[in-house]
Structure 1
Amino acid sequence: MTRALVRMPRALSIALVYVTARAVTALMLVAAASASTAGSRFGAAATVGDLSLGWDAQWYWYIAVNGYPSTLPTTAQGVGENAWAFMPLYAWASNAVGSLFGSWGVGAVIVSLLCGYLACLVLFRLLAPRTGRIAAFWAVVFFAAGPLGALFQVGYAESAFLLLLFLGLDALVRRRYGLLYAIIPVMGFVRPGVLAFALMLGLVLALRWWRRRTDPLSSREIVHFFALGALAVAVGFAWQVIAGIVTGDPGAYLETELAWRRNWSTGETTGFLPFEGWVSAAQFWFAFWGLPPWLGVVVLVLLVAGFGGVLLRGPGVRRLGPELRLWSASYALYLLAVFFPQSSTLRLLVPLSPLWGAVAAPRGSARATRMLRVGVLALGLALQWLWIWNVYAMGDTFWRVP
């Protein structure tokens, strides 16, 4: 059956996969809405529409309607949670589409659904030359029906960011650098993460320089890498500058991000220190689970080392090519530098989705490969339901926030 689907026009076969995955997710959301109680964030009479426009979607709606505050809200602990933590383009695009239907929420869901489908198409195009068409097709299946599949049909910016990210990676791999001058600025104002793209560009340039005898690196390409890297860095810091100018507080953006971190920290949050968040979070979570905090740091080190080992020598990973592996390393390093791991961690890992290509790679016999792929799909759907159940049906405590 897989071979028959792969032989179809790509847009049609992936549409069949995507629509099926979205129908399954919709059933899960219906079940979650029905199970919602008075103790949930959404109440006992929740609808799928409530769930689709809950949590961060409320912030995007606020931005579309009210814009950004010129005065930062404050609490007893410092700057409070506010809209500056969220980039504007998804909110504005949803507003433009929603104006056709008289509803921002309808526009948000349409933008997420459409961007998710297009991201599937680009992911297949990105992976097929490296993994083969069948493995690339299965990678799209895992991507569309995976643990965070619900993000493709709720008011979150992830699917729009993923579309732009995959387009950017595809342009880089095909060495169509001109497209990146348009993609990078848009990507940078949809969701944070463009600084990781800047790091990847630097690493790819270093690798190309190292391999220049077997893979010639022209002066024109070097200029492109430097220019695109500078552009990505400028875009990556531009939002901090804009927030500082509008509010009159140079630290407005970082202080806003720290407002969310205070909800998870047992001590005083005095400022941003790169890489400190993961160490603090490891200790926080292990203490929360009744385990020695130092053990959390040990586990963190093992996880980082294990991930690095997978990128270097993991089964199926090497065939993804240097650009996708360097993107995965760059984004992981970016998260280590800026993020405080909490309930949103799984959602923040979605930009690593090109690694589905390694998961979908053949393993041993055809039967073993088929069993593995079916097992991964089943596990992905089970985890998706577990995620939806916790953050939408339950949504009653601090660790059930998407």
Structure 2
Amino acid sequence: MADSALNAAGARQRWRQLPVVARVAIVYFAARVVTAVFFLLAAQLSGADSRFGVDPSITDLVLAWDSRWYWIVAETGYPADLPMTDSGAIAENQWAFMPIYPYLAKLVSFPFGQWAVGAFLVSIAAGFAASYVLYLLMREKLAESAAMWSVVFFACGPLAGLFQIGYAESLFLLWLFLALLCIVRRRFGWLYLLIPLMGYTRPGVLAFALFLALFGIWRWFQRERERLGAIEIVHIVALGFWAVVVGFSWQVIAGIVTGDAGAYLSTELAWRRNWIAGDAAFAPFDGFLAATSFWFGAMWGLSAEVGYVVLGLGVAAIAAALLVVPAVKKLGVELRLWSASYLVYLLLVFFPQSSIFRLLVPLSPMWGAFAAPRSTPWRLSVLAACLIGQWWWIYNMFGLGNTVWQIP
């Protein structure tokens, strides 16, 4: 028994002596093996009634769902003439997908001859880099063990399958974590590059603009505790303006190319028409309100009023968690302000359906709150829940994918 304890202590010592990047790599790529097994099992269990048919290949899954849109962008670019439905509305098209990820994947794919290979390599490499930056971000506020466990939860999380398919999330997370690290360390210069990288990888940079506004207000009221110099004020204001410009620029670009000023918004709304009838127009908060009525009323047979109450209680509970939960407060004001800003952004623009799970991935710094408690049973329980959730998501979205709530 004493020998076992000594061996365990020795293993822990050898683990701590490894460079951080090596430890993150071991955690991340071990998690990718588990995810690969989940995808293979889902492919084996895919039946005739599945969206992907019997025994789909891994390439089929890498190119599934929105991955195919990114592939179309890489191969054909963006349409100057918007496709129309039989009813005369703008149909789904490439303008809903930002250009950096598909073109980067195409560049990487040249030696291999298949865009799917490039997409896989970009996603998995960006996920590893994001994991390492997440560790650095967590170490600004948490102990070493908690920071590493944050990486474990992130790499094994319910949506970790995104690191191995042709989606832009892992690349966006890399830019986002770098941007948050710059904010925490007060290194604002890099943000002038990171903001357009975020903005042209995936929608969400307007949430970062809101975050910068809230961060600037907080810094103003904290200026007695932490000196707020004129240069920092200029950076915060300029970066907030820059994020707004980048956030709206894609709409301008789409309008110029197509000759339709509303091309981007109409394209985004084309997906909403798959859920609710009618030619919906965009209005802040309307997506969440319409979806609440849809899910609680049309789908679950309850009243919309019940849904609104649940929505209100959910918003209040999340706000309370960000304000008062000790494990969340340990992460620092910056990460809490980012989380609040991103959630407000979703409330403003998103129509919630099964993709809400994927849309919540930019809240990944919150894994630190789950890792902060030092209890080993707690951490192992969270890890188990992550893996169960990951299998559930992969099986339903990629093994089945045949009902309205099985869309990633």
* TM-score (norm: length of structure 1): 0.97
Aligned 8 A contact 1:194 1:235 in 2: yes
Aligned 8 A contact 1:277 1:338 in 2: yes
The alpha carbon displacement at 1:290 in A equals 2.0
1:357 aligns with 2:357: no
Residue number in structure 2 paired with 1:379: 385
Residue number in structure 2 paired with 1:63: 73
1:290 aligns with 2:269: no
1:199 aligns with 2:205: no
The alpha carbon displacement at 1:3 in A equals 6.7
- Does 278-287 or 153-162 show the bigger shift? 278-287
User: Aligned to 1:397, which of 382, 395, 403?
Assistant: 403
In 1, Cα distance between the equivalents of 2:326 and 2:249?
Answer: 39
1:150 aligns with 2:156: no
Residue number in structure 1 paired with 2:280: 270
Percent sequence identity over aligned pairs: 54
Q: Aligned ranges for residues 134-149 of structure 1 at < 5 Å?
A: 134-149=145-160
AA partner of residue 14 (structure 1): V
Q: Aligned ranges for residues 209-358 of structure 1 at < 5 Å?
A: 209-265=220-276, 267-287=277-297, 288-358=299-369
User: Aligned to 2:15, which of 5, 8, 11?
Assistant: 5
1:14 partner SS? helix
User: Aligned to 2:394, which of 384, 388, 394?
Assistant: 388
1:32 aligns with 2:42: yes
In 2, Cα distance between the equivalents of 1:247 and 1:399?
Answer: 33
Residue number in structure 2 paired with 1:84: 95
The alpha carbon displacement at 1:200 in A equals 0.6
The alpha carbon displacement at 1:283 in A equals 1.4
In structure 2, relative to structure 1, the CA distance for the partners of 1:45 and 1:230 (3 Å cut) is: same
1:240 partner SS? helix
In 2, Cα distance between the equivalents of 1:387 and 1:290?
Answer: 25
The alpha carbon displacement at 1:6 in A equals 4.2
The alpha carbon displacement at 1:345 in A equals 0.3
Q: Please give the per-residue CA displacement for 1:108-151, whole angstroms capped at 9, x wherever unaligned.
A: 00000000000000000001120111001001100000000100
Q: Please give the per-residue CA displacement for 1:151-207, whole angstroms capped at 9, x wherever unaligned.
A: 001000000000000000001111111111111111110000001111111111101
Aligned 8 A contact 2:273 2:280 in 1: no
Aligned 8 A contact 1:282 1:293 in 2: yes
In structure 2, relative to structure 1, the CA distance for the partners of 1:298 and 1:190 (3 Å cut) is: same
The alpha carbon displacement at 1:38 in A equals 2.0
User: Aligned to 1:19, which of 29, 42, 49?
Assistant: 29
* TM-score (norm: length of structure 2): 0.95
Aligned 8 A contact 1:6 1:134 in 2: no
Residue number in structure 1 paired with 2:4: none
The alpha carbon displacement at 1:269 in A equals 3.4
AA partner of residue 58 (structure 2): V
In 1, Cα distance between the equivalents of 2:119 and 2:325?
Answer: 37
Runs of 5+ unmatched residues, structure 2: 1-10
Aligned 8 A contact 1:73 1:82 in 2: yes
The alpha carbon displacement at 1:315 in A equals 2.9
The alpha carbon displacement at 1:293 in A equals 2.1
In 2, Cα distance between the equivalents of 1:314 and 1:52?
Answer: 38
In 1, Cα distance between the equivalents of 2:88 and 2:353?
Answer: 20
Runs of 5+ unmatched residues, structure 1: none
In 2, Cα distance between the equivalents of 1:270 and 1:146?
Answer: 34
1:123 aligns with 2:141: no
2:330 partner SS? helix
Aligned 8 A contact 1:84 1:256 in 2: yes
In 2, Cα distance between the equivalents of 1:254 and 1:140?
Answer: 35
1:78 partner SS? coil
In 1, Cα distance between the equivalents of 2:45 and 2:249?
Answer: 43
How many aligned positions are there? 396
2:362 partner SS? helix
The alpha carbon displacement at 1:2 in A equals 6.3
1:320 partner SS? coil
The alpha carbon displacement at 1:52 in A equals 1.3
Aligned 8 A contact 1:168 1:183 in 2: yes
User: Aligned to 1:114, which of 112, 121, 125?
Assistant: 125
In 2, Cα distance between the equivalents of 1:289 and 1:6?
Answer: 51
AA partner of residue 234 (structure 1): V
The alpha carbon displacement at 1:77 in A equals 5.9
- Let me know the Cα RMSD of the aligned residues: 1.1
In 2, Cα distance between the equivalents of 1:285 and 1:79?
Answer: 25
In 2, Cα distance between the equivalents of 1:73 and 1:222?
Answer: 45
Aligned 8 A contact 2:89 2:279 in 1: no
- Does 236-245 or 267-276 show the bigger shift? 267-276
